[in-house]
Amino acid sequence: MRLCDCPIREEIRLTSVGLPERNILRMQELGVRPGAQAVVTQHAGFGGVVLNIAGSRVAVDHRSATLIDADLVSAHVEAGGAR
């Protein structure tokens, strides 16, 4: 699912970050990279989201949130995947 559609207070794993090259390095520095686990703490105005990644809050604008894919971690656990 797209990051902008993820539910609040559910643990997610980022699966794809399809941002433009000029933005990708900064987002990786903030921890927004495939494989990172996060929790959506807030859906901000105009479609953005606020993430908790390793104890840090990271705000992602709506345009970027539509280009980032994530899976619910609980869905992997229920399907027998490792956590």
Other beta carbons within 10 Å of 15:
14
pLDDT of residue 47: 87
Copy the structure tokens of residue 63.
């345009």
pLDDT, tens only, 29-52: 999 999 999 999 999 888 899 999
Nearest by Cα to 71 from 12, 31, 10: 12
pLDDT > 70? residue 55: yes
Model-level pTM? Answer: 0.85
Residue 78 binned pLDDT confidence (cut-offs 50, 70, 90): low
Copy the structure tokens of residue 37.
């686990």
Sorted by sequence, the CB contacts under 8 Å of residue 74 that are 6+ apart come out as 10, 11
* 65 contacts 43 by C-beta, under 8 angstroms: no
pLDDT > 70? residue 83: no
Average pLDDT value for the chain: 91
